[in-house]
Amino acid sequence: MKATIFDIQRGSFVDGPGIRTTVFFKGCNLRCKWCHNPEGIDREIKMLFYESKCIGCKKCKSVCKSKACILCGECAIYCPSMAREICGREITPRELFDIIARDKHYYKNGGGATFSGGECLLNPDFLRETLSLCKENGIGTAIDTAGNVPYESIERVMPYTDIFLYDIKCITKELHKAGTGVSNGLILENLKRLKKDFCGRIIIRIPIIGGFNDTEEELRKIKAFLDSLEIEEVELLPYHTLGVHKYEALGIDQTEFSVPSEGQMSAFREIFK
């Protein structure tokens, strides 16, 4: 059994409590216009080309085995300016666990492994096996999900998961459809069921996107929904532009959004106190 990942970040402090190793899976069934990991949307392995880094040495052409890109990776290896990058590699649960376990001694005091994406729950059987290896070896686990999957996929991993980091973009159906390409009906229903069935922590993560959901009205709707489920742990994540260069490297267009000010973020945090 294998899955395709595009990054492993060791020593992370932003994807759950404590020091964590975060694994990013390729493949997502949402199309969020503000996505800061566009290289993780498709399951296929991709080539990123950063034109601004290219020095025109043509080393990539001289080392290419086929003279027509088949993603062998030679050009990325030998590029002196790192203008080319292969995004994606296949891995087995045991191989992934062995990487996670390297930092086991750092996971004390509540840390562990976080599985993200893309959408990691598009690989429920792979996840279940990797999570069980973590639990057998005393490593904490967290799933970062948008929730747009069959509930059976959530049930598959639930026994081996300590924390769900659950994304809520908005409540208004039409707004969600416009921003992500899909309805939020399944997402909200899955969260209701998860709150009922899961005994661990559920942490809601809300991206604050300037020009999309950055209104008091929409955030109060989210607050009311979460209150109805008696969910209290909420993280507000301000939109950033760190992923813009990835769109350029992939040769695709990106919708422009604004970064919320610190004043806005403070006001929004007050709503969720």
pLDDT (tens digit per residue) in 10-35: 999 999 999 999 999 999 999 999 99
The mean pLDDT value of the chain amounts to 92
CA-based radius of gyration for the chain: 20
pLDDT band at 66 (very low <50, low <70, confident <90, very high): low
Q: What is the pLDDT of residues 131-156, one digit of tens each?
A: 999 999 999 999 999 999 999 999 99
pLDDT single digits (tens) 161-213: 999 999 999 999 999 999 999 999 999 999 999 999 999 999 999 999 999 99
Measured CA distances, 44 to 25, 90, 222 (Å): 11, 10, 34
Range scoring the smallest mean pLDDT among 131-135, 195-199, 252-256, 261-265: 252-256
Please tell me the class of the 46-86 domain: alpha beta
pLDDT at 178: 96
Can you tell me the mean pLDDT for 218-230? 97
Question: DSSP letter string over the chain?
Answer: --EEEEEEEEEESSSSSSSEEEEEES--S---TT-S-GGGSSSS-EEEE-GGG--S--HHHHH-SSSS----SHHHHH-TT--EEEE-EEE-HHHHHHHHHTTGGG-TTT-EEEEESS-GGGSHHHHHHHHHHHHHTT-EEEEEE---S-HHHHHHHGGG-SEEEEE---S-HHHHHHHHSS-SHHHHHHHHHHHHH--SEEEEEEEE-BTTT-SHHHHHHHHHHHHHTT---EEEEE--STTHHHHHHHT------BPPPHHHHHHHHHHT-
- Check whether 69 has a pLDDT greater than 70: no
Question: pLDDT of 81-131, one tens digit each?
Answer: 777 877 789 999 999 999 999 999 999 889 999 999 999 999 999 999 999
Instruction: Compute the Cα dihedral for 30, 190, 155, 21 and give only its sign.
Output: positive
Mean predicted confidence (pLDDT) in 204-233: 96
The ranges assigned to domains in the chain are: 3-45+88-271, 46-86
User: Residue 70 pLDDT > 90, yes or no?
Assistant: no
Q: Give yes or no for residue 60 having a pLDDT over 90.
A: no
How does residue 67 score in pLDDT terms, banded at 50, 70 and 90?
low
Domain topology for 3-45+88-271: TIM Barrel (3.20.20)
Residue 29 pLDDT: 96
Q: What percent of the chain has pLDDT over 70?
A: 96
Supply the pTM of this predicted model: 0.90
Q: Is the peptide bond before 118 cis (omega within 30 degrees of 0)?
A: yes
The predicted structure's pLDDT at residue 248: 84
Residue 221 has which token pair? 């709707």
If pLDDT is split at 50, 70 and 90, which confidence band does 254 have?
confident
User: Tokens 């399951």, residue?
Assistant: 43
